[in-house]
Amino acid sequence: MGLWLDRLSRWLLAGIMLAAAIPKLLSLGSFAEIIEAYGLIPEILTLPAAISLVIMELLAAFLLIRGKSSGLWLTVILMTIFIAVLSYGIWLGLDIDCGCFGPEDAEHKAFSGLRTALVRDLILFLPIVYSFWYAYRFPIKLSGE
């Protein structure tokens, strides 16, 4: 049961990473504009940041599907960055698209916001924590590591 729950957790996380990365990949310019709206980095770095984030999300999804613990670590790093940026946006009172699932995210239109995205990202730590617990409690069962 534990192995299947771990796999389900990793596949869920991988699916979310893919669902987030693909729309961004298809409109990198628009995603860069969303990043720019947060005001955290200079305008000249927004497109490289957008490209880097999409590549990291795709890599995290691939590693999670392959059962690699590096996929969990990359997911934790990405989720921590996303939570920090969303928290910053909420603190500033920004009313912008979170950019989580690309430009024109239906979630943003339906729920308007950064707070909803923050809660979702915090909830996503549950499958991450379970997979870490499973990976380090049963290290022999990790594939290829």
User: Per-residue pLDDT tens for 53-106?
Assistant: 999 999 999 999 998 989 999 999 999 999 999 999 999 888 887 888 876 655
CA-CA distance, 23 to 37, in Å (whole number)? 18
Tell me the per-residue pLDDT of 3-19, one tens digit each, with 9 for 90 and over.
899 999 999 999 999 99
User: What is the band of 141 on the pLDDT scale with cuts at 50, 70, 90?
Assistant: low
Q: What is the DSSP letter of 43?
A: G
Q: Which of 15-24, 100-109, 129-138 has the lowest mean pLDDT?
A: 100-109
What is the reported pTM?
0.85
Specify the pLDDT at position 66. 93
CA-CA distance, 43 to 36, in Å (whole number)? 6
Query: Average pLDDT in the 39-53 region?
Result: 95
CB 17 within 8 A of CB 11: no
CA-CA distance, 3 to 82, in Å (whole number)? 28
Which residues are within 8 A (CB) of 33 and not within 5 positions of it... i.e. 6 or more apart?
46, 103
Specify the pLDDT at position 112. 57
Nearest to 51 by CA among 84, 27, 19: 27
Specify the pLDDT at position 111. 46
Which residues are within 8 A (CB) of 67 and not within 5 positions of it... i.e. 6 or more apart?
7, 10, 142, 143, 144
In angstroms, how far is CA 25 from the centroid of its own chain? 14
